Amino acid sequence: MTETALDRLISDERLRPFLPLLYMAWADGELTPGEITELCDRIGDVVDADCRELLDGWLDPNHPPRAHDVARLATAIRTDVHDGHGPDLDSIGLAVRLAGPLDEEVVASLREMEESFGPFEASATSALVALPTESTIAPLPDPGRPEFDGKALRALLNGPHGDVKDKVWSICSRPEFAYQYDISISDYRRQVLGWLQALADEGLGALGTPAELAGAGDPGGFLAAFGTLGHHDLSLLTKFGVQFGLFVGAVQRLGTAKHHDLVTGALQLDPLGCFAMTETGHGSNVAGLETTATYIPSTGGYEIHTPNPLARKDYIGGAAEHATVAVVFAQLRMGDLGHGIHAFLVPIRTEHGEPASGVAIGDDGAKAGLNGVDNGHLTFDRVRVDGEALLNRFASVDGEGRYSSDITSPNRRFFTTLGTLVGGRVSVASGAVSVAESALTIALRYATRRRQFQTTPGPETSLIDYPSHRQRLLPRLAATYAYHFACAEAVAEYVGLESDAGDTGEARRVFEGRAAGLKAFATWHTMDTVQECREACGGQGYMAINRLGSMRDDVDVFTTFEGDNTVLAQLLAKSLLTEHHSSFEDLTPGRLLRYLRDRVSSFATTNLPVIGSVGGDRTDPEVAGLLLDRRRDLSLEKLAQRIQRRVTDGRDASEAFTEVQSHAVETARAATEAYVYAAMRRANVDDPALSEILDDVSVLYALWRVEEDLGWFLTHGLLTAGGAKAVRSSVATLCDELAPHARHLVDAFGIPDEVLAAPIAL
């Protein structure tokens, strides 16, 4: 790599003592162009002409350095600080250790600049070096020994795939995986592709693929790797998921032996693939996709066609630049008959990188986030593929042009096809929870070092010591813990379903509904958490190098890909209403009416007595769980009653459900939050001290969710006014009691500093 001016600036020992001043000239944000010029002149008095030339370039007011270069300069200064080179220097308002000797002329010049310009912004320089100062940002305090076994907690959080997580963290801690800021979209895409190749070279992409297809046969390990990537760069996570989860997963699970040769190469990114399902006009309505695959009797092949602009495949990760093959979902047409959605392998680029004949490729360009992913759009103008292109695990067309499937119901066949991809929703939920863990680690570490105002004589008060600050972050930490355990349980259940012994149609349908709810509410929780963490870190949270802004922008789309959250919440509600039926829409009005009457009757006979007040038992885990369970059951009962009334009035199932969609989403929320709490309670904890802490964390989650929905609990008689006050009081008390443990709880996530990277959290 060619040496840049910044490389020379950092490596020149004569300029080393001045690096903090050069950094602060831009990071402080208070110097005028005239002052920057004066600063350059003053430093130039004690350095030679070559150094002066470097300074002129670095401090040119009309050409400020890129954010990435400022971040690199900060890294160089922190290296000096942590290596302990040289004496202390107080002349810039902080104790900053620097490499190399400081002669009297340099010290005098620095002191003169201090007097001329005044002290730099203490909070910014403290965040840069994190050394003991009188700044409002103190060094990260030693949290002391936890009152519980911290190693046991980390092992519990890591689960059975701790070795995979450690491997992912080790790879992402390499220098070439360092974050860059102010990078062009084109360069960012190339960087992410290089990272993806490194993960493939290390065998991470092959973890979930069966051994007979050159994989490791460890789907749980694959999901663990995917989730852990959520601590690093979400463009990389997405690219990893598209290639190894969606593309390879679709070929493996929807195809048969004749397609599986493709998998071996794809595990090494040859070919790079994409997953062409979503269309411009049809979003989550996969059954309504308009792309057609028309059977051609004379050749036994298919013609892939985009009939109108709304049928364009859009937002397809990998399509814009890198992918050469697409798994295309299309309506299979055979003569006058339509057989619904099927998947086809379609080459979209030639070996020279040009669009294949009949394929038009467009670049979706800049997005709000995930700009390391080359999203693009595809249209097909009567593109011919051979008969082997149909991924035919669930349906085939023989040499005589006869269509056959072991699944006779088109609706069930459709849901079975999509159900093979349910692991994607579990993956997205796990990755989102990792983002929340990173954000909370940054915000809570910062809250222990950042001081603001004084409540008593002496130093200013740490943010974590303010009740309002604790109550912003600690309930969200508790919720993140709960979602972590719920995702781990979902991963284990998914792995069981993937095995022959656990893969029953009934169990899978129940799991698909639960996975849909988990994905929806985990990603909504993460969006809320990252935004709260950003605000809780003030201006520092808005700085690019502290990563909270990019986390928020990148994770935003998690709420709509792998299924729009509102649609997925409704899917869960339908699953809860119909239990083991393959589809809510499959129920005839008569069967649906009888079924709903049975459900309402069941709810009514099993209803528990109303809780008048939580009273002294409000922190009892069983009482907290009971509140969530009662809300779930009663909400589902009310939803069933509303649908029953509409069906009685003559509406069909779909129409009746559409009219109560908002209630369905809230029912799904209630069910998911009850499940998440129960999953955390099921975690196997042997250590009594650790069990006690996790009891408090789980109860804080449950009571916080009750507090956020107090109106519902009051109007439905599950809490009295006194009980509602007790819940509020309990949430505040638990936040106070957990505050001293907050550092240990986030440190147990085990995120390496190189991956976390935010200076305010290191």
Catalytic residues: 562
Decide the pairing of beta strands 325-334 and 313-317. Answer: unpaired
Q: What is the DSSP string of 655-719?
A: HHHHTTHHHHHHHHHHHHHHHHHHHHHTS----HHHHHHHHHHHHHHHHHHHHHTHHHHHHTTSS
Residue 381: Cβ within 10 Å count: 12
Measured between alpha carbons, how far is 231 from 570 in angstroms, rounded to an integer? 29
Decide the pairing of beta strands 292-296 and 403-404. Answer: unpaired
Residues 6+ away with beta carbon under 8 Å from 700: 474, 475, 478, 731, 734, 735, 738
Three-class SS state of 316: strand
Peptide bond between residue 101 and the one before it cis (omega within 30 degrees of 0): no
Decide the pairing of beta strands 292-296 and 325-334. Answer: parallel
How far are the Cα atoms of 5, 8, 64, 188 from residue 2, in angstroms, in the given order? 10, 11, 21, 19
Buried-state track 714-731, b at ≥16 Cβ within 10 A, e below 16: eeeebbbeebbebbeebb
Q: Which helix (H) or strand (E) holds 305?
A: strand 301-305
Residue of 27, 1, 4, 26 lying closest to 759 (CA atoms): 27
Measured between alpha carbons, how far is 475 from 485 in angstroms, rounded to an integer? 16
| Phi, psi dihedrals of residue 420, rounded to the nearest 5° | -65, -15
Q: Which two tokens stand for residue 292?
A: 């057609």
Yes or no: say if 418 and 277 are a contact pair by the CB < 8 Å rule: no
Residues 6+ away with beta carbon under 8 Å from 633: 603, 606, 607
**Sign of the torsion angle spanned by Cα atoms 453, 457, 459, 462:** negative
Strand partners of residue 329:
343
Yes or no: say if 306 and 281 are a contact pair by the CB < 8 Å rule: no
473: left (phi over 0), alpha (psi -120 to 50) or beta: alpha
The CB-side HSE value for 148 (13 A sphere, CA atoms) comes to 27
At 541, which amino acid appears? G
How far are the Cα atoms of 179, 613, 672, 679, 703 from residue 727, in angstroms, in the given order? 42, 9, 20, 22, 6
Residue of 516, 507, 522 lying closest to 562 (CA atoms): 516
Burial class (CB in 10 A: 0-12, 13-18, 19+), 245: buried
* Locus of tokens 């993937």: 498
Measured between alpha carbons, how far is 66 from 60 in angstroms, rounded to an integer? 12
Residue of 642, 647, 745, 610 lying closest to 690 (CA atoms): 745
Read off the DSSP letter of residue 355: B
Measured between alpha carbons, how far is 40 from 48 in angstroms, rounded to an integer? 12
Q: Which helix (H) or strand (E) holds 274?
A: strand 273-276
Residues 6+ away with beta carbon under 8 Å from 107: 89, 91
Q: Which two tokens stand for residue 36?
A: 């920057």
Strand partners of residue 295:
302
Nearest 5 degrees, angle CA 44-CA 47-CA 53? 65
Measured between alpha carbons, how far is 267 from 211 in angstroms, rounded to an integer? 12
